[in-house]
């Protein structure tokens, strides 16, 4: 009986030792991964956070938030559509995403694309049938006076005979 108890104790210590050994090895691997990660790479930081960052989770989240703030400040300083779109590609759910989308819309209104027909003014005169009432089509000149409709013929006093079969 004592032999069985001794075997259980030895195996428990050996198993517990393995657990603590594997945990320390995992912590060492996480520390190494955190030290080698490119903290200017959004995807690398997100992959690290999605993994098992252990004690480095808060540090990684802080680095990601700092990178987001830096990229948004850079987009604002450049103030161009490609800069804001790049920011939105990296941080689509950022608290600054609405502001970035709004600024893109403002820039598109200010500078319509040269080859985009949806953003440029029409070059042809619109179909007069499609112009809303009381609106004057561009370059259409003054409205013309329509002649009254022709009068209807007066009905005859005698009714027409009914057709026979």
Q: So what's the pLDDT on residue 75?
A: 95
Q: So what's the pLDDT on residue 20?
A: 46
Spatial separation of the C-alpha atoms in residues 85 and 108, rounded to whole Å: 12
Spatial separation of the C-alpha atoms in residues 153 and 132, rounded to whole Å: 33
Residue range 109-136: mean pLDDT, rounded: 63
Q: How confident is the model at residue 116 (pLDDT cuts 50, 70, 90)?
A: low
pLDDT value at 132 more than 80:
no
Spatial separation of the C-alpha atoms in residues 75 and 107, rounded to whole Å: 13
Distance set, CA 31 to CA 20, 34, 56, 97, 132 (Å): 16, 5, 8, 32, 69
pLDDT one-digit tens code per residue, 14-61: 555 554 444 555 567 777 777 888 888 898 888 888 887 788 889 889
Coil/strand/helix, residue 145: coil
Q: So what's the pLDDT on residue 76?
A: 96
Residue range 4-22: mean pLDDT, rounded: 52
């Amino acid at each position: 009986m004592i032999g069985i108890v001794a075997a259980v104790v030895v195996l428990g210590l050996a198993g517990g030792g393995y657990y603590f050994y594997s945990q320390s090895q995992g912590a060492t691997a996480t520390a190494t991964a955190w030290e080698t990660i490119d903290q200017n790479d959004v995807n690398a930081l997100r992959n690290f956070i999605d993994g098992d960052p252990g004690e480095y989770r808060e540090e990684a989240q802080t680095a990601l938030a700092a990178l987001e703030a830096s990229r948004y400040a850079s987009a604002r300083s450049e103030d161009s559509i490609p800069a804001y779109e790049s920011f939105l590609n990296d941080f689509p759910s950022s608290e600054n995403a609405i502001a970035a989308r709004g600024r893109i819309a403002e820039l598109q209104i200010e500078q319509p694309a040269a080859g985009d027909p949806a953003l440029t003014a029409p070059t042809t005169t619109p179909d007069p049938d499609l112009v809303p009432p009381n609106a004057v089509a561009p370059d259409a000149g003054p409205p013309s006076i329509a002649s009254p409709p022709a009068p209807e013929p007066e009905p005859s006093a005698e009714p027409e005979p009914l057709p026979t079969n």
